[in-house]
Amino acid sequence: MQMTLGGVVRAFDDWLDGPASLISDSMGSGMRGKRTRVEIAPDGKTLTVHGATARSAAVAVQLGEAGGADTLANAVKGRNVVLGVPEQWLIRRRIELPLEAADHMDGIVASRMSSLSPLPPAEAYSGHRIAEIDRVAKRLVASIAIVGRSRLAPVLEQIERAQPRGITVEAPAAGSGGAIQLTGRAGVGNARRVVRRSLAAILVLAAVVAGGSLLWRNLTAGENAERRANLEARMEKARDAIVKASNPEEVATAPEQAALDIKNQAVSVVGALDDLAAALPIHAYATEITFVDGTVRLSGKTSNVPDVLTALESSGRFVQSRLVGPATRSEDGTTSDFVLETLPLIRTGGGLD
C-alpha cells in the first residue's frame, strides 16, 4: 500500500498529538492552581468568585454595593483572573474551512470578522476554537464567540481596581465542554502546537544522529571497504538519475532550446483560470483577467472583498494575494468593485512551483 509524503506527515503529526497533549496539560496544571475564576451573572450585577483551590468556597460579590469592592480585592488581588462570560451575552458563529487552514485560523477569522459580527471589530472581543475535524473530507469547523466590549467594560473596570495580576476573558465552547479565549490568546492549543513541534524536532534529531553514527561506523570499518565501493557506485547512479530528471527534454538546436525554456518558465493560463474559477467564492465574479510576468490581475465584483482574498490563499493554488488600491462600492449599494493581484502556483504540465 503506497502512502504519499503528505499522508506520512499527517500520520506522524497525529501520533505526536497524544504525547503533546499530555505534556501541555501537565505544564498547564501547575498554572491552573494559581488562577481565580470569576463568573458573571446574566444580569451583570453579580460576580461569583471561585477560589484558587478546589477546597475554597465560592464568594458572591454584588457590584456597586458597600463592601463589594473590598471583598473582590481580597479574592483576586495579585492573582490571575479568568473571567467567564454568560451564554446570554454571546454571539456565536460557525465556519467551515479546508484542513490546511488550521495553522492560519487567527488571520482567517480576523479577515471575516466584519461579515460574522454585527458589531465593528474594534467594539467586540472575539475568539475561536476548532470544534470538528474531518480528516477524510479534509475539512474543519471552527466555533467563534463574540461579545461586546461595552457590555464587559463595567465588570472589567471593577476587577482592574482590585489589582489582579492579569485578566483573561473566556466563553464556554458550544458542545465541546472546553472554553474559547476572547482575550489573552496564549491558549492551550498554542502550547500543544509548540510541544508537538519540539517533540518532532527531537525525534528527527535523534534519528539523524543515530543514522549518522551507524553510517560512520560502517564506513570506517576495514571489512566494509567493498560495501563503501558499492555505495559510491549507487550514489553515482543516483546523481545521474537526478541530472536526467532535471533535464527531461533534449533539443538539437539553440532556437528549440530557447522555445523549451520559455515553455518551462511560462504559467499555464488554462490551468490558472481553472484554479481561479474553483477558488473564487460564489458571491464574487471577474470582469477582467490579465496575466503579466506570471502574475494574475483580477478585476471583479463581490459582496465581501476579504472573503475573496481568504478563499484564494486557503485554496493552496495561489499566494501573495493583495488588493491593488481600495475597493469601491458599486452603484447598487450591495457589491464592491475590486482589483487584486495574485501569484498562481500551477506551471506547465500541472506541477506546483
Altogether, the residues listed in the chain come to a count of: 353
In this predicted structure, what is the pLDDT of residue 286? Answer: 85
Closest of 142, 112, 113 to residue 129, by C-alpha? 142
In this predicted structure, what is the pLDDT of residue 349? Answer: 42
Closest of 106, 89, 124 to residue 185, by C-alpha? 106
User: How far apart are the C-alpha atoms of 316 and 96, rounded to whole Å?
Assistant: 16
In this predicted structure, what is the pLDDT of residue 184? Answer: 44
In this predicted structure, what is the pLDDT of residue 123? Answer: 87
> Where in the chain does DSSP place strands (E)?
35-40, 46-50, 59-62, 80-84, 91-98, 124-134, 139-148, 166-172, 179-181, 285-292, 295-302, 318-323, 328-329, 336-344
User: How far apart are the C-alpha atoms of 302 and 338, rounded to whole Å?
Assistant: 8
User: How far apart are the C-alpha atoms of 339 and 127, rounded to whole Å?
Assistant: 30
Asked if residue 61 lies in contact with residue 39, where contact means CB atoms within 8 angstroms, the answer is no
% residues pLDDT > 70 (the chain): 73
Summarised one tens digit per residue, pLDDT across range 190-248 is: 455 677 778 778 888 888 888 887 777 766 666 667 777 788 888 888 777 766 655 55
User: How far apart are the C-alpha atoms of 164 and 35, rounded to whole Å?
Assistant: 10
Range picked from 90-94, 183-187, 332-336 for highest mean pLDDT? 90-94
Q: pLDDT category, 23, cuts 50, 70, 90?
A: low
User: How far apart are the C-alpha atoms of 114 and 117, rounded to whole Å?
Assistant: 6
In this predicted structure, what is the pLDDT of residue 267? Answer: 58
In this predicted structure, what is the pLDDT of residue 353? Answer: 43
Per-residue CA distances from 263 to 20, 191, 243, 249, 270 (Å): 47, 47, 19, 11, 14
In this predicted structure, what is the pLDDT of residue 62? Answer: 82
- Residue 1 clears pLDDT 50, i.e. is over it: no
User: How far apart are the C-alpha atoms of 178 and 194, rounded to whole Å?
Assistant: 20
Q: Which residues contact 22 (CB under 8 A, 6 or more apart)?
A: none
User: How far apart are the C-alpha atoms of 308 and 324, rounded to whole Å?
Assistant: 13
Domains (range + CATH), the chain: 33-186 (3.30.420.380), 259-344 (3.30.1360.100)
Who has greater pLDDT, 200 or 46?
46
- Tell which phi-psi region holds residue 68, choosing left (phi > 0), alpha (psi between -120 and 50) or beta: alpha
Summarised one tens digit per residue, pLDDT across range 194-204 is: 777 787 788 88
- Residue 303 clears pLDDT 60, i.e. is over it: yes
**DSSP 8-class letter at 109:** H
